[in-house]
């Protein structure tokens, strides 16, 4: 960690800040994961995010996990830096997004979701705040903390208490424990 310079500043959660690697000068986003008690181990949500991103690395529509390293009483996930998210873009837009822009974002989103599903990953928390936008307008899916490796045969049971309530698929609202990738398309 001594080769990095961490710039203070964070998002609303206080967990993400910018990092400047000393050798490359590339800006990356940091997500700090604190371990409350060492005996509890690494939180399942963090393990799922790391596993999902390792399964689907190198896709232009999924945020790239650059590194994972220990830091203090926890560890840090280093991601490619993205300027904003779709929720912020919509919130701060003076007028509705142009039809061409909406189509472009939708195409990138669907390509990213298709790639995840082709690799048996179900995201389970797609929402505007988890769709990051680069300075060049590239949309990438992020925050795989609720993601799971999906069983294509439909035999596994999952929790229905995933996804932000306002974006939750109807089957999840009704308490279904057996569901498929459709929860990402609602």
Q: Which fold has domain 84-184?
A: Transferase(Phosphotransferase); domain 1 (1.10.510)
The half-sphere exposure of 166 on its side-chain side, counting CA atoms within 13 A, is: 3
Strands 121-122 and 84-85: unpaired
pTM (two decimals): 0.82
45-59, 85-99, 138-152: which is most confident: 85-99
Q: What is the pLDDT of residue 118?
A: 93
Q: Which fold has domain 4-80?
A: Phosphorylase Kinase; domain 1 (3.30.200)
pLDDT tens for each residue of 17-60: 666 665 677 888 888 887 776 666 777 778 888 888 888 878 99
Confidence of residue 160 (pLDDT cuts 50, 70, 90): low
Which residue has better confidence, 177 or 7?
177
Distances, alpha carbon 113 to alpha carbons 42, 104, 110, 122, 147, in Å: 27, 14, 5, 8, 12
Confidence of residue 166 (pLDDT cuts 50, 70, 90): confident
Q: How far apart are CA 92 and CA 104, in angstroms?
A: 19
Per annotation, catalytic residue among 125, 153, 180, 184: 125
Evaluate whether 30 touches 77 at the Cβ level (below 8 Å): yes
Distances, alpha carbon 87 to alpha carbons 1, 70, 133, 169, 172, in Å: 32, 31, 10, 19, 23
26-35, 148-157, 160-169: which is most confident: 26-35
Which residue has better confidence, 131 or 154?
131
pLDDT tens for each residue of 68-81: 888 777 888 888 99
Q: Record the tokens describing residue 91, joined without a space.
A: 């919130």
Domain ranges of the chain: 4-80, 84-184
Chain centre distance of CA 39: 27
Concerning whether 125 is annotated as a catalytic residue, the answer is yes
Degrees, nearest 5: CA angle 3-74-116: 90
Smallest CA-to-CA distance from 30 within 84, 77, 85 is with 77
Q: What is the pLDDT of residue 37?
A: 67
């Amino acid at each position: 960690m001594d080769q990095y310079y961490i710039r203070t500043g964070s998002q609303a959660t206080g967990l993400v800040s910018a990092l400047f690697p000393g050798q490359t000068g590339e800006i990356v986003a940091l997500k700090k994961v604190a371990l409350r008690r060492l005996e509890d181990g690494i939180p399942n949500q963090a393990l799922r995010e790391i596993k999902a991103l390792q399964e689907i690395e190198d896709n232009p529509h999924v945020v790239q996990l650059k590194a994972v390293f220990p830091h203090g009483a926890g560890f840090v996930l280093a991601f490619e830096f993205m300027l904003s998210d779709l929720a912020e873009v919509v919130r701060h837009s003076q007028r509705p997004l142009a039809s061409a822009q909406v189509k472009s974002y939708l195409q990138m989103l669907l390509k990213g979701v298709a790639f995840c599903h082709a690799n048996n990953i179900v995201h389970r928390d797609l929402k505007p705040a988890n769709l990051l936008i680069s300075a060049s307008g590239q949309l990438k899916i992020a925050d795989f903390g609720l993601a799971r490796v999906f069983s294509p045969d439909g035999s596994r049971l999952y929790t229905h208490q995933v996804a932000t309530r306002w974006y939750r698929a109807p089957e999840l609202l009704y308490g279904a424990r057996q569901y498929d990738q459709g929860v990402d398309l609602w």
